[in-house]
Amino acid sequence: MENNKSFGWSQGALIALLGLGGCLTLGLTLPVMPNLKSTQTINIKELSLKPMTSERIEGLKSSIVTSWHKEATLKGLSEVPERFRGVTIAEANLAPSEKVIALTFDDGPWPQSTPAVLEILKKNNIKATFFIVGQMLKEHPDMGKRIVAEGHVIANHTWHHWYHYMNPQAAAFEIDNTSNLIYQVTGVRTSLFRPPGGIKTNGPYAYAKNQKYATIMWSADSVDYSRPGVPRLISNIMREAKPGGIVLMHDGGGNRSNTVAALPQVIDIFRKKGYRFVTVPELLEMQDKQLQVASKK
């Protein structure tokens, strides 16, 4: 469970907000077209001249999947294969040779930690998945733009990060306004959702499922929201890590200095164990391909 102190809006505020819903929705759906980056291209000539080390092959594989993902989102297509729409996933079951792991960061954008996380990911040439909180993205749209411009995946973690029960109208507000703002700010139409606290019984999860979002849980919890020391935070992740897994960390929601401090070591340990890093859509794509192959056998 996550600490939601930072998102402590009262129930009264919710009711007031619902009254304002119409105005807010209108305000949020103003057509602001973002500057879209052109899709990544792979230079075939350059590839043929350089020796294909395993690292380069991994790089090529991941750039192909990233290009596919970027192209799909630019065309307004879902980044989620059809079989996973409306489905809940905590990990992929891949062939043992596919030693991949997906790092995910929740509750941002957060000025004190999101830029630091992005710097570490850039330095290590890793793409991750960010489940953002709508009201935080509204405050820090530049960070949302940066997440996408640097090749990461941006996804829906509700508007307020509430844990209490929400009726269908409130749940729709939480999810629709967040996805609309993600689109206005970044040009990405997300169909990935993660419920705050992993809670499936308070409204947003049911709404997201109904709207055919893929709900993305996790298989390795850093428990960083409890602010363990760096060694403990790392061992929390490594204890539960396995190929095809999804790691839960937080770049927002409170003081995440320990997460930022642990991240380079987490990356090093995974690399030494032979893992490569994928985004959640890449993980789903790999799972989809494997299931396609299995069904043909």
CB of 297 to Zn ion, least distance (A): 39
- Contact (CB, 8 A) for 218 and 88: no
CB of 198 to Zn ion, least distance (A): 9
Nearer to Zn ion, 70 or 157 (CB): 157
CB of 271 to Zn ion, least distance (A): 27
Dist. CA 228–CA 280, nearest whole Å: 25
Nearer to Zn ion, 106 or 251 (CB): 106
CB of 250 to Zn ion, least distance (A): 7
Residue of closest CB approach to Zn ion: 106
Identified catalytic residue from 106, 176, 224, 251: 106
**2 touches Zn ion (CB under 5 A):** yes
Does the active-site annotation cover 106?
yes
* CA-based nearest residue to 194, from 233, 158, 152: 158
CA 195 to chain centre: 12
CB of 234 to Zn ion, least distance (A): 20
Dist. CA 240–CA 196, nearest whole Å: 21
Cβ of 153: how many Cβ atoms within 10 Å? 26
**174 touches Zn ion (CB under 5 A):** no
Helical spans, DSSP H, in 75-203: 114-123, 134-139, 141-149, 168-186
Nearer to Zn ion, 86 or 198 (CB): 198
CB of 134 to Zn ion, least distance (A): 12
**251 touches Zn ion (CB under 5 A):** no
Helical spans, DSSP H, in 189-256: 204-210, 230-240
Instruction: Give the pairing of strands 88-89 and 214-216.
Output: parallel
**Max Cα distance, the chain (Å):** 64
Nearer to Zn ion, 104 or 287 (CB): 104
Q: Which of these segments, 11-19, 113-121, 143-151, 188-196, binds Zn ion (CB under 5 A)?
A: 188-196
Q: What is the dihedral of CA 103, 201, 4, 244, to 10 degrees?
A: -10
Nearer to Zn ion, 4 or 287 (CB): 4
**Total residues at interface with Zn ion (CB under 5 A):** 4
Interface mask toward Zn ion for 189-218; x: CB under 5 A: -------x----------------------
Cβ of 21: how many Cβ atoms within 10 Å? 14
Write out the binding residues for Zn ion, residues 102-131 only, by CB under 5 A: 106-107
Does the active-site annotation cover 250?
yes
Q: Which helix (H) or strand (E) holds 189?
A: none
Dist. CA 62–CA 101, nearest whole Å: 13
- In the complex, the residues that contact Zn ion under the rule CB under 5 A are 2, 106-107, 196
Give catalytic residue positions: 106, 250
